[in-house]
Structure 1
Amino acid sequence: MIAILTVSHGTSDSLGQRAVSRFAEAVHDAVDAEVAAHAFVDVQQPDVPSALAALPAEATVVIVPLLLSRGYHLGHDLRKAAAPFGERAIVAGALGPDPRLAQILRRRLQEAGLGRDDRIVLAAAGSSDRAGVDDGLEAGLLLGVACLRPVTVGFLSAAQPSLDSAVARAAADGPGRVVAASYLLAPGYFHRLAQRSAADIVTEPLLHPDRMTDWELVAIARNRYFSALSDAGVPLSDVATPRRRASSTIDATKP
């Protein structure tokens, strides 16, 4: 039996909760694992250890982080939670950086009215983990390729340059507006911080509860799931089973 456990950061923002819940359900449907559940690394419940314990004891669980980059939660928290379950729990990679995320960001910029002379700053959450910072910088490079123009990166916490510094530097580069591309999964605390920056325009996050989840996000999560199974040597015959709603399935819509 194969189970998927999607894991998001967690938020107290009701819009963010709805948006991530919709995303998690879309991933569950796309993967079609026999058992599907969702958990959080912070703020909301269930936490990851509780969710893992609630899944069937015979299941191989693929933990799919709905996180945009590596960082402390993925490198430490998720692996610590998975460790007691041994080979039964497989931790997949983060969603980003990925060129498909850059395409979504480019669409958000276009929706916000990006002009030819506007300068782009990628607004990333930031991390105390060097790998997470590197992933944010690479996401900026990928967005620059997608938009065919330079992109600088500013972090909202824990890393430098700060978003405020990056916006100020971009504004000093010449005429035109500064547009902050929100490299954030959903509405919440960090997006409100981005909106308080001096950027002329701040785009919407990747997810919104009132719009369909972009196919690229679902495809990336699905890729991470199957890549993790492949890396763990799980036979495809064990994966290709229809999903059933078991009593152990945790409803992703619950706070």
Structure 2
Amino acid sequence: MTGAPPVLIGCSHGTDSVAGRVAIRSILSAVRVARPDLDVREAFVDVQDPKVFDVVGDAVAGGGAAVVVPLLLSLGFHVRTDIMSAVLDRAAAAADVLGPDPRLVEILVDRLIAAGAGPNDAVVLAAAGSKDPRAAEAVEAVAAGLRAVWRGGPITVGYGAGTTPRVPDAVAAARAAGAPRVVVGSYLLAPGYFHDRVLEAGADVVSAPLAPDDRLTPIVLDRYAAATDRAVVAPED
């Protein structure tokens, strides 16, 4: 491609949580610092404005191009529908979601340590969940990565929606298996609705979400870079 690089549009779900909004904005603020040459914009699929369809339209007006980086950890309805619809037949491309990625596992480990998780604790990795089976596969990949480096008790997975087991059931199962303490590792990007539900799931300890964290910045930029060649001007009829 020639000329200015594609606009980087960081697209998250959207939330009513003030802390969640701050956490998501911290990711894009860090991206702007790391790449001051890029036009970095924010978009949402629900709850907040501006919506991703409109942001992409503004970015490509006048011959520009855009890459939408989902600020989401796994595939699901909003990626398949909202984001893909926003880039369809435009000079735009949808990048891959942020997970799975070994750098996310590194952040999870640090969050568990900060929460006080110990070697005798059972860990439930709590993800938002989706009906898309690829989302569960991605979460399981992260769980496998966590098992490879975590020097502690058993690690299982629970979901907030879309598939099973749900987080409260996973916590109850870990407790029934004899764990003296159950720690939930929050595999969520920011505070908000799902994290609030995780806090109510019956665990002894819940770790903080992944953002803010400087290690998210290179993940976003890697996803953007991998998609830029696909953000080409759509051919005219």
After TM superposition, is the score higher than 0.5? yes
> Is the counterpart of residue 80 in structure 1 residue 79 in structure 2?
no
The equivalent position to 2:148 in structure 1, one of 127, 140, 145, is 145
Q: Does structure 1 residue 214 correspond to structure 2 residue 218?
A: no
1:148 positional shift: 3.8
Corresponding position of 2:94: 91
- Which residue in 2 is equivalent to 1:127? 130
State the alpha-carbon separation in 1 of the partners of residues 231 and 65 from structure 2: 12
CA drift at 1:129: 1.3
Alpha-carbon distance between aligned partners in 2 of 1:148 and 1:98, rounded to the nearest angstrom: 19
Does the 8 Å CA contact 2:122/2:179 hold for their aligned counterparts?
no
Is 1:107 the counterpart of 2:110? The answer is yes
RMSD of Structure 2 on Structure 1 (CA): 1.6
Q: Secondary structure at the match of 1:84?
A: coil
1:33 Cα deviation (Å)? 4.2
* 5+ residue gaps, structure 2: 233-237
Task: Give the TM-score taking structure 2 as reference length.
Answer: 0.90
Match of 1:195 in 2: 199
Instruction: Give the unaligned 5+ runs of structure 1.
Output: 208-212, 235-255
Aligned-residue identity in percent: 40
Q: Distance in 1 between matches of 2:55 and 2:179?
A: 51
- Deviation string for 1:171-217 (max 9, x for gaps)? 1222421000000111111001000011110111112xxxxx32221
Matching residue of 2:15: 11
SS at match of 2:89: helix
Q: 2:76 maps to which residue?
A: 71
- Equivalent residues, number: 226
- C-alpha contact (below 8 Å) 1:4/1:33 kept by paired residues: no
The alignment's TM-score, normalised by the length of structure 1, stands at 0.84
- For 2:19 and 2:174, the matched residues in 1 are separated by 30
| Separation in structure 1 between the aligned mates of residue 224 and residue 33 of structure 2, nearest angstrom | 12
The amino acid across from 2:228 in the alignment is L
Q: Which has the higher contact order (CA 8 A, sep 6+)?
A: 1
Give the partner amino acid of 2:138: D
Query: Could you tell me which residue of structure 1 aligns to residue 235 of structure 2?
Result: none
